[in-house]
Amino acid sequence: TPFLRSGLEVLGRYMIDVTQNIDKNDCAICCDKLNEPSSYGDNMSGSGDVVELCFCKHQFHKLCLLTMYNSVHKGNSLQCPCCNTIYGEKTGTCPPGTMEWYIDKDLHLAGYEDYSSICLSYHMSPGIQGPEHPHPGQRYKARGFPRTAFLPDCNQGRKVLKLLIEAFGRRLTFTIGTSTTTGEQNTLTWNEIHHKTESYGNAFGHGYPDPKYLDNVLMELASHGVVE
């Protein structure tokens, strides 16, 4: 089928056929034994094939990996479901928008009283979902934009800024889906990279002080492959 072929082009760069030393473990995608055919198998030739990813060496049924690639990723990259190793450069599905930032010398975030602050704002508009989105052809909403977020203007804060700019360029910052806060469907939501949207106080849990925030967001960025 064409969908398997397009995945093969990308995955072919990273997976190696395994014929000997197949793991005795289960395939982490389908939970069936690796040395037995995948339950995704439709008796097409090769449905029992096992492959391993070239860097982390985790093994899967070939068909399971292809199915996962086509249902989850669709970009030009693959993330190992066992260890999160990223193959290729991970990109997201955030629709077009803009990101701006400036330094506010008069804003001092709790816990960073000696520093100025970096104010980021994201401008996103409603539009029509593309083929990479949950409901292609339907409209999506953009609530609460421009959204503003804050970082301390310290060395680590500047590093986070640089990587947030990279993440936005790779379409990772927002996604289209159901908002967990409002329950609204077909709307832009934050996408696993947390932002501090409260400049004063922490009434909604998205403000300062939070001494772990910069470390945490660097880990979230790294889990999407966004590192220096």
Out of 14, 69, 115, 190, name the contact with ligand NAD by CB under 6 A.
Answer: 190
The span of 54-62, 115-123, 151-159, 214-222 binding Zn ion (CB under 5 A) equals 54-62
Q: Does 159 bind ligand NAD (CB under 6 A)?
A: no
In the bound state with Zn ion, the residue whose beta carbon lies nearer, of 90 and 196, is: 90
What distance in Å separates the CA atoms of residue 128 and residue 135, rounded to the nearest whole number? 9
Q: Does 80 bind Zn ion (CB under 5 A)?
A: yes
Name which of 78, 228, 55 is nearest 156 in CA terms. 228
Smallest separation, CB 49 to Zn ion (Å): 10
Smallest separation, CB 145 to ligand NAD (Å): 7
Q: Does 121 bind ligand NAD (CB under 6 A)?
A: no
Smallest separation, CB 162 to ligand NAD (Å): 20
Name which of 225, 228, 219 is nearest 88 in CA terms. 225
Q: Does 160 bind Zn ion (CB under 5 A)?
A: no
What distance in Å separates the CA atoms of residue 146 and residue 126, rounded to the nearest whole number? 12
Choosing among ligand NAD, Zn ion, none, which partner's interface includes residue 180 (Cβ < 5 to 8 Å by kind)? Answer: ligand NAD
Q: Does 223 bind ligand NAD (CB under 6 A)?
A: no
The span of 40-48, 65-73, 92-100, 193-201 binding ligand NAD (CB under 6 A) equals 193-201
Question: β-strand 15-18 against 50-53: which pairing, if any?
Answer: antiparallel
| Span 21-50, contacts to ligand NAD by CB under 6 A | none
What distance in Å separates the CA atoms of residue 134 and residue 193, rounded to the nearest whole number? 20
Q: In a 10 Å sphere around its CB, with 0-12 CB exposed, 13-18 middle and 19+ buried, how is residue 102 labelled?
A: exposed
What distance in Å separates the CA atoms of residue 26 and residue 199, rounded to the nearest whole number? 47
Which residues have CB under 8 Å from 114's CB, separation 6+? Answer: 108
Smallest separation, CB 182 to ligand NAD (Å): 5
Which residues have CB under 8 Å from 1's CB, separation 6+? Answer: none
Which residues are at the interface with ligand NAD (CB under 6 A)? 143-144, 147-148, 179-182, 189-190, 194-195, 197, 204, 206
